[in-house]
Amino acid sequence: QLQPVYALHYSLSRVCVASGNTITVWPIGGDEGAPLTWQAHSHNISCLDVDHCEDHVLFSSSSDGCDTTYARLSSGLEFFAAPNARNATVLANSLEAHSSIDSLGDILSYCHAELSTFHAKRAEDGGGVWSAADAKAANDDNDLGQPLYHSFCSILEAKYTDQCQAAALSSDPPPPPMYLQVAYQVVVNMPGTSSAKEADAARLQQRIMAYWCDSVLRCRASTTVHQSRRHTGKAALSTLLMADFLGLVSISPANPHLAALVTSVYATYGTAGDKKRSVAEARPEDLPVRETCGLCAAPVPLTARVLEPVCDNGHALERCFRTLVVIDSAAAVLWKCMVCEAFATGRDKDDNEDDGNGQPQLPVLVCRLCGSYCQRIEY
Protein backbone atom coordinates (compact mmCIF):
# COMPACT_ATOMS: atom_id res chain seq x y z
CA GLN A 1 0.00 0.00 0.00
CA LEU A 2 1.39 3.38 -1.04
CA GLN A 3 1.92 5.86 1.78
CA PRO A 4 2.94 9.53 1.67
CA VAL A 5 6.59 9.97 2.61
CA TYR A 6 6.97 12.65 5.26
CA ALA A 7 10.71 12.53 5.95
CA LEU A 8 13.91 10.78 4.95
CA HIS A 9 17.07 10.83 7.04
CA TYR A 10 20.32 9.04 6.39
CA SER A 11 23.64 8.47 8.12
CA LEU A 12 26.70 6.31 7.54
CA SER A 13 24.93 3.30 9.04
CA ARG A 14 21.24 3.55 8.09
CA VAL A 15 18.49 5.24 6.07
CA CYS A 16 15.30 6.15 7.97
CA VAL A 17 12.01 6.87 6.20
CA ALA A 18 8.70 8.00 7.72
CA SER A 19 5.82 7.13 5.41
CA GLY A 20 2.20 7.30 6.49
CA ASN A 21 2.07 5.93 10.02
CA THR A 22 5.09 3.63 9.66
CA ILE A 23 8.86 3.97 10.00
CA THR A 24 11.28 1.94 7.90
CA VAL A 25 15.01 1.64 8.54
CA TRP A 26 17.47 0.26 6.00
CA PRO A 27 20.92 -0.65 7.38
CA ILE A 28 23.79 0.30 5.07
CA GLY A 29 27.55 -0.10 5.12
CA GLY A 30 29.27 -3.32 6.11
CA ASP A 31 26.30 -4.93 7.91
CA GLU A 32 23.51 -4.77 5.35
CA GLY A 33 20.42 -6.69 6.32
CA ALA A 34 16.68 -6.77 5.83
CA PRO A 35 14.91 -3.44 6.43
CA LEU A 36 12.97 -3.00 9.66
CA THR A 37 9.41 -1.65 9.38
CA TRP A 38 6.91 -0.99 12.15
CA GLN A 39 3.75 1.03 12.76
CA ALA A 40 4.76 3.94 14.95
CA HIS A 41 1.41 5.79 15.23
CA SER A 42 -2.27 5.48 14.45
CA HIS A 43 -2.22 8.34 11.92
CA ASN A 44 0.29 9.89 9.57
CA ILE A 45 3.65 10.83 11.02
CA SER A 46 4.25 14.57 11.17
CA CYS A 47 7.76 14.63 12.66
CA LEU A 48 10.83 12.40 12.44
CA ASP A 49 14.09 13.36 14.09
CA VAL A 50 17.31 11.36 14.24
CA ASP A 51 19.84 14.12 14.90
CA HIS A 52 19.30 15.38 18.44
CA CYS A 53 19.46 12.21 20.54
CA GLU A 54 22.03 9.50 21.02
CA ASP A 55 22.94 7.12 18.24
CA HIS A 56 20.32 4.43 17.48
CA VAL A 57 17.47 6.71 18.72
CA LEU A 58 14.58 7.97 16.58
CA PHE A 59 11.97 10.52 17.65
CA SER A 60 8.63 10.75 15.86
CA SER A 61 5.27 12.39 16.43
CA SER A 62 1.83 12.35 14.85
CA SER A 63 -1.53 14.09 15.05
CA ASP A 64 -3.93 11.30 15.94
CA GLY A 65 -7.15 13.26 15.45
CA CYS A 66 -8.68 16.62 16.27
CA ASP A 67 -11.97 18.50 16.59
CA THR A 68 -12.96 22.16 16.98
CA THR A 69 -11.56 22.57 20.50
CA TYR A 70 -8.44 20.45 20.80
CA ALA A 71 -6.01 18.22 18.96
CA ARG A 72 -4.76 14.84 20.16
CA LEU A 73 -1.02 14.47 19.68
CA SER A 74 1.18 11.44 20.13
CA SER A 75 4.92 10.99 20.09
CA GLY A 76 7.23 8.02 20.10
CA LEU A 77 10.85 7.38 20.98
CA GLU A 78 12.33 4.38 19.16
CA PHE A 79 15.56 3.03 20.64
CA PHE A 80 17.75 0.58 18.75
CA ALA A 81 19.42 -1.15 21.68
CA ALA A 82 22.17 -2.78 19.65
CA PRO A 83 23.59 -3.01 16.15
CA ASN A 84 21.62 -5.19 13.79
CA ALA A 85 23.76 -8.24 14.56
CA ARG A 86 22.76 -11.08 12.29
CA ASN A 87 24.46 -13.71 14.44
CA ALA A 88 26.65 -14.24 17.48
CA THR A 89 29.87 -13.87 15.49
CA VAL A 90 29.00 -10.35 14.33
CA LEU A 91 28.04 -9.39 17.88
CA ALA A 92 31.30 -10.78 19.30
CA ASN A 93 33.41 -9.05 16.66
CA SER A 94 31.91 -5.71 17.71
CA LEU A 95 33.96 -5.97 20.94
CA GLU A 96 37.35 -6.24 19.28
CA ALA A 97 37.92 -2.48 19.34
CA HIS A 98 37.30 -2.30 23.11
CA SER A 99 40.06 -2.47 25.71
CA SER A 100 37.76 -2.18 28.73
CA ILE A 101 34.14 -2.63 29.73
CA ASP A 102 32.29 0.69 29.72
CA SER A 103 28.67 -0.33 29.24
CA LEU A 104 27.17 -3.54 27.96
CA GLY A 105 23.58 -2.34 28.14
CA ASP A 106 23.07 -2.65 24.39
CA ILE A 107 24.45 -6.20 24.21
CA LEU A 108 22.54 -7.31 27.31
CA SER A 109 19.32 -5.89 25.90
CA TYR A 110 19.89 -7.57 22.55
CA CYS A 111 20.63 -10.98 24.10
CA HIS A 112 17.70 -10.66 26.52
CA ALA A 113 15.23 -9.94 23.70
CA GLU A 114 16.61 -12.78 21.57
CA LEU A 115 16.36 -15.20 24.51
CA SER A 116 12.67 -14.37 24.96
CA THR A 117 12.09 -15.12 21.27
CA PHE A 118 14.11 -18.34 21.54
CA HIS A 119 12.03 -19.63 24.48
CA ALA A 120 8.77 -18.70 22.75
CA LYS A 121 9.73 -20.58 19.58
CA ARG A 122 10.95 -23.56 21.59
CA ALA A 123 7.64 -23.71 23.47
CA GLU A 124 5.70 -23.57 20.19
CA ASP A 125 7.72 -26.52 18.91
CA GLY A 126 7.00 -28.52 22.06
CA GLY A 127 10.55 -28.33 23.40
CA GLY A 128 11.40 -28.36 27.08
CA VAL A 129 13.67 -26.09 29.08
CA TRP A 130 17.01 -25.60 27.36
CA SER A 131 19.65 -27.58 29.27
CA ALA A 132 23.37 -28.22 29.48
CA ALA A 133 22.89 -31.33 27.32
CA ASP A 134 21.32 -29.17 24.61
CA ALA A 135 24.24 -26.75 24.86
CA LYS A 136 26.75 -29.56 24.44
CA ALA A 137 24.94 -30.96 21.41
CA ALA A 138 24.50 -27.60 19.67
CA ASN A 139 27.14 -25.77 17.68
CA ASP A 140 27.69 -22.11 16.91
CA ASP A 141 24.85 -22.01 14.40
CA ASN A 142 22.01 -20.42 16.34
CA ASP A 143 19.44 -22.00 14.01
CA LEU A 144 20.27 -25.42 15.45
CA GLY A 145 18.64 -24.74 18.78
CA GLN A 146 20.60 -22.57 21.19
CA PRO A 147 20.06 -18.99 22.29
CA LEU A 148 22.25 -16.32 20.77
CA TYR A 149 23.81 -15.39 24.12
CA HIS A 150 25.26 -18.90 24.52
CA SER A 151 26.87 -18.81 21.07
CA PHE A 152 28.10 -15.28 21.77
CA CYS A 153 29.76 -16.30 25.04
CA SER A 154 31.31 -19.41 23.47
CA ILE A 155 32.91 -17.25 20.79
CA LEU A 156 34.26 -14.84 23.41
CA GLU A 157 35.78 -17.76 25.34
CA ALA A 158 37.44 -18.99 22.17
CA LYS A 159 38.82 -15.52 21.48
CA TYR A 160 40.34 -15.35 24.95
CA THR A 161 41.82 -18.83 24.57
CA ASP A 162 43.48 -17.69 21.34
CA GLN A 163 44.88 -14.65 23.16
CA CYS A 164 46.32 -16.85 25.91
CA GLN A 165 47.91 -19.22 23.42
CA ALA A 166 49.51 -16.32 21.56
CA ALA A 167 50.83 -14.91 24.85
CA ALA A 168 52.26 -18.30 25.83
CA LEU A 169 54.12 -18.59 22.53
CA SER A 170 55.72 -15.21 23.26
CA SER A 171 56.42 -16.15 26.91
CA ASP A 172 54.15 -13.30 28.01
CA PRO A 173 51.69 -13.42 30.91
CA PRO A 174 48.03 -14.06 30.07
CA PRO A 175 46.11 -11.00 28.84
CA PRO A 176 43.37 -9.38 30.96
CA PRO A 177 40.18 -11.45 30.71
CA MET A 178 37.94 -8.77 29.19
CA TYR A 179 36.24 -11.24 26.85
CA LEU A 180 35.54 -13.59 29.75
CA GLN A 181 34.20 -10.73 31.88
CA VAL A 182 31.80 -9.71 29.11
CA ALA A 183 30.65 -13.31 28.74
CA TYR A 184 30.17 -13.70 32.51
CA GLN A 185 28.21 -10.46 32.74
CA VAL A 186 25.92 -11.60 29.93
CA VAL A 187 25.38 -15.08 31.40
CA VAL A 188 24.52 -13.98 34.93
CA ASN A 189 22.10 -11.34 33.64
CA MET A 190 20.06 -13.66 31.45
CA PRO A 191 16.65 -14.35 33.04
CA GLY A 192 15.65 -17.71 34.43
CA THR A 193 17.67 -20.66 35.67
CA SER A 194 18.88 -23.70 33.78
CA SER A 195 21.65 -26.25 34.02
CA ALA A 196 23.25 -24.73 30.90
CA LYS A 197 23.34 -21.26 32.43
CA GLU A 198 24.77 -22.55 35.72
CA ALA A 199 27.45 -24.54 33.90
CA ASP A 200 28.45 -21.51 31.81
CA ALA A 201 28.65 -19.24 34.86
CA ALA A 202 30.71 -21.75 36.86
CA ARG A 203 33.19 -22.33 34.02
CA LEU A 204 33.66 -18.61 33.35
CA GLN A 205 34.04 -17.85 37.05
CA GLN A 206 36.81 -20.44 37.34
CA ARG A 207 38.74 -19.07 34.37
CA ILE A 208 38.44 -15.45 35.48
CA MET A 209 39.46 -16.13 39.07
CA ALA A 210 42.35 -18.32 37.88
CA TYR A 211 43.64 -15.34 35.89
CA TRP A 212 43.47 -13.02 38.89
CA CYS A 213 45.10 -15.53 41.23
CA ASP A 214 47.90 -16.07 38.72
CA SER A 215 48.30 -12.31 38.22
CA VAL A 216 48.39 -11.51 41.94
CA LEU A 217 50.86 -14.28 42.76
CA ARG A 218 53.11 -13.21 39.88
CA CYS A 219 53.15 -9.67 41.24
CA ARG A 220 53.83 -10.82 44.78
CA ALA A 221 56.70 -12.98 43.57
CA SER A 222 58.30 -10.20 41.53
CA THR A 223 57.65 -7.10 43.65
CA THR A 224 60.50 -6.08 45.93
CA VAL A 225 58.22 -5.18 48.83
CA HIS A 226 56.80 -8.69 48.84
CA GLN A 227 60.19 -10.34 48.49
CA SER A 228 61.57 -8.38 51.42
CA ARG A 229 58.95 -9.42 53.95
CA ARG A 230 56.97 -12.54 54.65
CA HIS A 231 53.20 -12.17 54.72
CA THR A 232 51.45 -13.09 57.93
CA GLY A 233 47.85 -13.46 59.02
CA LYS A 234 45.19 -12.93 56.37
CA ALA A 235 47.73 -11.87 53.75
CA ALA A 236 49.50 -15.24 54.03
CA LEU A 237 46.14 -17.04 54.11
CA SER A 238 45.07 -15.23 50.94
CA THR A 239 48.31 -16.21 49.19
CA LEU A 240 47.87 -19.87 50.15
CA LEU A 241 44.21 -19.92 49.08
CA MET A 242 45.12 -18.52 45.66
CA ALA A 243 47.79 -21.18 45.27
CA ASP A 244 45.31 -23.87 46.34
CA PHE A 245 42.77 -22.66 43.79
CA LEU A 246 45.30 -22.58 40.95
CA GLY A 247 46.41 -26.08 41.85
CA LEU A 248 42.81 -27.21 41.84
CA VAL A 249 41.66 -25.82 38.48
CA SER A 250 44.65 -24.75 36.38
CA ILE A 251 47.73 -26.91 36.95
CA SER A 252 48.59 -29.32 34.16
CA PRO A 253 51.79 -30.82 32.71
CA ALA A 254 51.46 -28.29 29.87
CA ASN A 255 51.67 -25.37 32.30
CA PRO A 256 54.97 -25.65 34.19
CA HIS A 257 54.90 -21.94 35.09
CA LEU A 258 51.86 -22.31 37.34
CA ALA A 259 53.27 -25.44 38.93
CA ALA A 260 56.48 -23.58 39.77
CA LEU A 261 54.53 -20.57 41.07
CA VAL A 262 52.34 -22.67 43.37
CA THR A 263 55.32 -24.70 44.57
CA SER A 264 57.13 -21.46 45.43
CA VAL A 265 54.15 -20.21 47.45
CA TYR A 266 53.96 -23.47 49.40
CA ALA A 267 57.69 -23.39 50.06
CA THR A 268 57.39 -19.88 51.51
CA TYR A 269 54.07 -19.97 53.37
CA GLY A 270 52.85 -23.56 53.42
CA THR A 271 52.87 -26.30 56.00
CA ALA A 272 54.97 -29.44 55.79
CA GLY A 273 52.02 -31.15 54.11
CA ASP A 274 51.82 -28.38 51.49
CA LYS A 275 55.49 -28.78 50.64
CA LYS A 276 55.16 -32.54 50.15
CA ARG A 277 51.98 -32.48 48.07
CA SER A 278 52.29 -32.77 44.29
CA VAL A 279 50.74 -29.61 42.87
CA ALA A 280 50.33 -31.21 39.44
CA GLU A 281 48.02 -33.88 40.87
CA ALA A 282 45.99 -31.83 43.33
CA ARG A 283 42.49 -33.06 44.12
CA PRO A 284 39.84 -31.37 46.26
CA GLU A 285 40.24 -33.99 48.98
CA ASP A 286 44.02 -33.39 49.06
CA LEU A 287 43.74 -29.70 49.90
CA PRO A 288 43.93 -28.72 53.56
CA VAL A 289 40.98 -26.85 55.04
CA ARG A 290 42.38 -23.48 56.05
CA GLU A 291 39.22 -21.68 57.26
CA THR A 292 36.27 -22.24 59.55
CA CYS A 293 32.70 -21.00 59.48
CA GLY A 294 32.08 -17.82 61.45
CA LEU A 295 28.61 -19.08 62.40
CA CYS A 296 29.35 -22.59 63.67
CA ALA A 297 33.16 -23.05 63.48
CA ALA A 298 32.77 -25.95 61.02
CA PRO A 299 35.46 -26.38 58.33
CA VAL A 300 35.00 -24.44 55.07
CA PRO A 301 36.66 -26.35 52.21
CA LEU A 302 37.95 -24.66 49.07
CA THR A 303 36.25 -25.95 45.92
CA ALA A 304 36.23 -25.09 42.23
CA ARG A 305 33.15 -22.93 42.94
CA VAL A 306 35.52 -20.71 44.84
CA LEU A 307 33.23 -17.73 45.47
CA GLU A 308 30.37 -19.91 46.71
CA PRO A 309 31.79 -21.58 49.84
CA VAL A 310 29.64 -23.82 52.03
CA CYS A 311 30.76 -25.06 55.43
CA ASP A 312 30.42 -28.70 56.45
CA ASN A 313 27.20 -27.83 58.31
CA GLY A 314 25.62 -26.35 55.20
CA HIS A 315 25.98 -22.62 55.86
CA ALA A 316 26.30 -20.70 52.57
CA LEU A 317 29.04 -18.08 52.88
CA GLU A 318 30.81 -15.57 50.65
CA ARG A 319 34.44 -15.27 49.60
CA CYS A 320 36.15 -12.00 48.78
CA PHE A 321 36.90 -11.84 45.05
CA ARG A 322 40.09 -9.90 45.85
CA THR A 323 41.64 -12.23 48.43
CA LEU A 324 39.58 -15.48 48.31
CA VAL A 325 39.28 -15.29 52.11
CA VAL A 326 35.84 -16.12 53.54
CA ILE A 327 34.15 -12.85 54.44
CA ASP A 328 33.68 -12.28 58.15
CA SER A 329 30.04 -11.66 59.03
CA ALA A 330 31.23 -8.83 61.29
CA ALA A 331 33.09 -7.00 58.50
CA ALA A 332 32.59 -3.25 58.82
CA VAL A 333 33.05 -2.45 55.12
CA LEU A 334 31.93 -4.52 52.15
CA TRP A 335 31.94 -3.98 48.41
CA LYS A 336 29.13 -5.51 46.35
CA CYS A 337 29.13 -5.70 42.58
CA MET A 338 25.88 -4.23 41.32
CA VAL A 339 25.80 -6.54 38.28
CA CYS A 340 26.95 -10.03 39.30
CA GLU A 341 26.57 -9.50 43.09
CA ALA A 342 30.07 -10.71 43.98
CA PHE A 343 31.51 -9.42 47.27
CA ALA A 344 34.83 -8.02 48.45
CA THR A 345 36.12 -6.61 51.71
CA GLY A 346 38.52 -3.83 52.55
CA ARG A 347 38.59 -0.15 53.32
CA ASP A 348 38.60 2.25 50.41
CA LYS A 349 41.93 3.81 51.47
CA ASP A 350 44.64 2.39 53.68
CA ASP A 351 48.28 3.38 53.34
CA ASN A 352 49.39 0.18 55.07
CA GLU A 353 47.62 -2.25 52.78
CA ASP A 354 47.33 -2.93 49.09
CA ASP A 355 45.00 -4.90 46.88
CA GLY A 356 47.42 -7.78 46.36
CA ASN A 357 49.31 -6.46 43.36
CA GLY A 358 51.22 -3.60 44.93
CA GLN A 359 48.61 -0.94 44.17
CA PRO A 360 46.98 1.17 46.92
CA GLN A 361 43.33 0.55 47.56
CA LEU A 362 41.07 2.95 45.70
CA PRO A 363 37.77 4.56 46.69
CA VAL A 364 36.26 3.05 43.53
CA LEU A 365 36.38 -0.71 43.21
CA VAL A 366 35.83 -2.65 39.98
CA CYS A 367 34.56 -6.21 40.17
CA ARG A 368 37.20 -8.69 39.05
CA LEU A 369 34.55 -11.11 37.85
CA CYS A 370 32.50 -8.98 35.46
CA GLY A 371 34.35 -5.65 35.27
CA SER A 372 31.49 -3.57 36.69
CA TYR A 373 31.62 -1.02 39.49
CA CYS A 374 30.97 -2.09 43.06
CA GLN A 375 28.92 -0.35 45.72
CA ARG A 376 30.56 0.37 49.06
CA ILE A 377 28.51 -0.84 52.03
CA GLU A 378 29.49 0.28 55.52
CA TYR A 379 27.97 -1.05 58.73
* Residue 244 domain flag: yes
Residues 74 and 108 in one domain: no
Per-residue model confidence as pLDDT tens digits over 213-244 = 999 998 888 764 444 455 567 888 999 999 99
* Residue 358 domain flag: no
Q: What's the pTM?
A: 0.70
* Residue 312 domain flag: yes
Residues 225 and 267 in one domain: yes
First-to-last alpha carbon distance for the chain, in angstroms, is 65
* Residue 137 domain flag: no
Q: What is the largest CA-CA distance in the chain?
A: 94
The single-letter DSSP state of residue 48 is E
The single-letter DSSP state of residue 296 is T
Residues 278 and 294 in one domain: yes
Residues 272 and 373 in one domain: yes
- For residues 109 and 320, give the distance between their C-alpha atoms in angstroms, rounded to a whole number: 29
- For residues 74 and 62, give the distance between their C-alpha atoms in angstroms, rounded to a whole number: 5
Question: Rounded to 5 degrees, what angle do the CA atoms 301, 136, 111 make?
Answer: 90
* Residue 135 domain flag: no
Closest to 328 measured CA to CA, from 379, 271, 270, 265: 379
Per-residue model confidence as pLDDT tens digits over 236-251 = 899 999 999 988 887 5
Residues 335 and 247 in one domain: yes
Residue 119 has pLDDT above 90, yes or no: no
Give the start-end residues of each E strand in the chain. 5-10, 14-19, 22-27, 36-39, 45-49, 57-66, 71-79, 291-292, 299-300, 333-337, 343-345, 374-378
Structural domain of 177: 83-117+144-192
Count the domains in the chain: 3
Residues 16 and 53 in one domain: yes
Count of C-beta atoms within a 10 Å radius of residue 288: 14
- For residues 220 and 255, give the distance between their C-alpha atoms in angstroms, rounded to a whole number: 19
* Residue 355 domain flag: no
Residues 172 and 216 in one domain: no
With b for 16 or more beta-carbon neighbours within 10 A and e for fewer, the 301-315 pattern comes to bbeeebbebebeeee
The band of 353, judged by pLDDT with boundaries at 50, 70 and 90, is: very low
